[in-house]
Amino acid sequence: MKPSRDIARLIEIMAALRTPGSGCPWDLEQDFRSIAPYTIEEAYEVADAIARDDLAYLKDELGDLLLQVVYHSRMAQEQGAFDFADVVEGITAKMIRRHPHVFADAEGQTAEHVKGLWERIKAEEKAERGEAAAGGALAGVPVALPALTRALKLQDKAGRVGFDWNDPRAVLAKIREEADEIEAELDKSGEDLAHNAKTAAEVGDLLFAVVNLARHLGADPEGILRDTNRKFERRFASIERALAARGQTPKDASLAEMDALWDEAKAAEKSSPVVPAERGEGRDP
């Protein structure tokens, strides 16, 4: 079977892989639950390619993500539930229905107006399906989302019904309050830090408040944390290279030595025209 630019070929390949007797033994063993983790992983690979501005990698990862859609569609088809064509028909109908400012007569001159229109139509769709009252204002946020993203969506939904701060500084005050509560729990815990569930719960409250601040600043907490992770990796790699030039590894170096090298890496990034200058002191990102 030859490669093709036609989606029909990909559907044929998946059908062949899932054909009993002649298909792939591994593919034949899979079901929706076993494939779901791969679907999530491929979505993250797409996000990673975008974050790295690697369009060649993005092309490959979008293909992998498309395969996941074809895979789930094929398994559903085998059960007589729906097939790939039904998925395509469903999403095209939804896009047309939710964009009346493009495909009908509704007006949508600004992005904010369009977002409001989208949300209104989405709510109407849920009402038609009898989902409007199920679960209250926070209904519809998938439990399987990454925790930071789910916190963001829960806060956004609560904000739509008025349960929100009006000023980012108020959220910052909440962050300081949560940090003080953590410190109070640490003072109580003594040496039993590893088993202090109360302290861990307070850390969760702090993370939730930090997500809320990111939301009030119009920032995606997952995205900015990914950026910080990359920044940490980049600077720590600089420490390792500097130590290797001395014939050392991080295990051989003192914390003071590594702190000094961290500051050097940070200063080098600030002076670089490629990496934007960042604020902060010491080992704080």
Q: Are residues 237 and 263 in the same domain?
A: yes
Smallest Cα–Cα separation from 279: which of 228, 241, 203, 221?
Answer: 228
Give the residue from 136, 137, 155 showing the smallest Cα distance to 145.
155
Note whether residue 151 is domain-resident: no
Q: Give yes or no: residues 20 and 40 share one domain.
A: yes
- Identify whether 140 is part of a domain: no
Q: How far apart are CA 4 and CA 24, in angstroms?
A: 20
CATH code of residue 91: 1.10.287.1080
Tell me which of 240 and 188 has the higher pLDDT.
240
- Does a structural domain hold residue 125? yes
Please write the tens of the pLDDT for every residue from 120-170: 887 787 777 766 555 688 888 888 888 999 999 999 999 989 999 999 999
Instruction: Flag whether 281 is in a domain.
Output: no
Do the domain assignments include residue 143? no
190-243, pLDDT tens digit by residue? 656 555 788 899 999 999 999 999 999 999 999 899 889 999 999 999 999 999
Is there a domain that residue 152 lies in? no
**Between 13 and 196, where is the model more confident?**
13
pLDDT value, residue 122: 79
Mean pLDDT of all residues in 95-116: 81
pLDDT at site 280? 41
Whether 110 and 57 map to the same domain: the answer is no
Place of tokens 């088809």: 77
From 52-66, 104-118, 146-160, the region with the lowest mean pLDDT: 104-118
228-257 tens-digit pLDDT = 999 999 999 999 999 999 999 999 999 999
Query: Do 39 and 13 share a structural domain?
Result: yes
- Do 14 and 90 lie in one domain? The reply is yes
Looking at residue 281, its pLDDT comes to 42
Residues in the chain: 285
Q: In this structure, are 69 and 118 located in the same domain?
A: no
% of the chain beyond a pLDDT of 90: 65
Give the range of the structural domain holding residue 181, as residue numbers without chain letter. 159-208
Task: Give the predicted TM-score (pTM) of the model.
Answer: 0.69
CB contact set of 196 (below 8 Å; sequence gap of 6+): 185, 189
Task: Compute CA distances 232 → 79, 176, 262, whole Å.
Answer: 47, 24, 10
My answer on whether 90 and 107 are in the same domain is no
pLDDT at 63 over 90: yes
* φ, ψ for residue 106, nearest 5 deg: -70, 155
Any domain includes 154: no
Q: Are residues 242 and 225 in the same domain?
A: yes
Residue 96 pLDDT exceeds 70? yes
Q: Which of 280, 179, 186 is nearest to 231 (CA)?
A: 280
pLDDT at 101: 84
For residues 231 and 174, membership in a common domain is answered with no
Reading the block at residue 282, the tokens are: 């010491």
Encoded amino acid at 18, one letter: R
Whether residue 88 is found in the same domain as residue 25: yes
Predicted local distance difference test score (pLDDT) of residue 3: 79
- What is the pLDDT averaged over residues 259-281? 74
> What pLDDT score does 126 carry?
74
Total domains, the chain: 4
> What is the structure's pLDDT at 51?
85
Domain assignment of residue 282, yes or no = no
Residue identified by tokens 């600077």 is 235
Residue 55 and residue 24 share a domain: yes
First to last CA, the chain: 51
Residues 236 and 255 in one domain: yes
Distances (CA, A) of 268 to 8, 15, 181, 284: 51, 54, 37, 16
Report the mean per-residue pLDDT for the chain: 88
